[in-house]
Amino acid sequence: MQLSVVVPLLVTVLVAAMGYGATYLTNLHLARRQDHLDRVNRQLSELYGPLYAQSEAVDRAWNEFVDRYGKFWRPSTPATAEQAALWRLWMSAVFMPLNRRMVETIVSHADLLLDDTMPDALKALCGHVACYEPLIARWQEDGFDSVQYVDHVSIAGDFPHEELDAYLEKAFKSLKSDQAKLLARMQRLR
């Protein structure tokens, strides 16, 4: 074989191989970014978005309740029969359905958590909701008419709204920022 034939052939093969390699690496990089974007989108749509919205709904409902009826559960002072009945109604019809949805969202989509372990705010929420279940079951018993604090308030303490709100807001904003950055990078690469 002559050098004048071999050199151009080798150069052509080398250029083609480099082009293929560059295309492969670019496609691999795009696929990884797309996978990352898909995960962030799932985290937002299936876990953090719903939790954030549900938490906001609980906060707004709670604020409306307090604005209209005030805070009346104190360990040292029992509520009136009317206040206790009102509390049971709001807990059963408004707060617990929202709280249960949040717990279901956490349990169903725990694989989408940002953290390696269950965050304390989510554990506190799950514990709070679980400790209300026996109270609500007791409220359904015939003849229940207690106005005592211990018969109406979770042994796990108050709803962890400050801790939960801070965690969810930070996570949601972080994910939205990641999503925007990933979308911008994907647009530049296409």
CB 144 within 8 A of CB 88: no
- Give the C-alpha separation, 10 to 29, whole Å: 28
Q: What pLDDT, on the 0 to 100 scale, is given for residue 85?
A: 94
Higher pLDDT, 111 or 187: 111
Query: Cα 140 from chain centroid?
Result: 31
> What integer is the mean pLDDT of 90-113?
97
> What integer is the mean pLDDT of 167-178?
97
Give residues with Cβ within 8 angstroms of 171, minimum separation 6.
48, 114
> 128: closest CA among 164, 83, 169, 168?
164
- What's the pLDDT band for 10 if we cut at 50, 70, 90? confident
Q: What pLDDT, on the 0 to 100 scale, is given for residue 94?
A: 96
22-38, pLDDT tens digit by residue? 776 766 777 788 899 99
- Give the C-alpha separation, 171 to 4, whole Å: 63
- Give the C-alpha separation, 156 to 130, whole Å: 9
120-139, pLDDT tens digit by residue? 999 999 999 999 999 999 99
Mean pLDDT (the chain) is 90
Q: What pLDDT, on the 0 to 100 scale, is given for residue 4?
A: 74
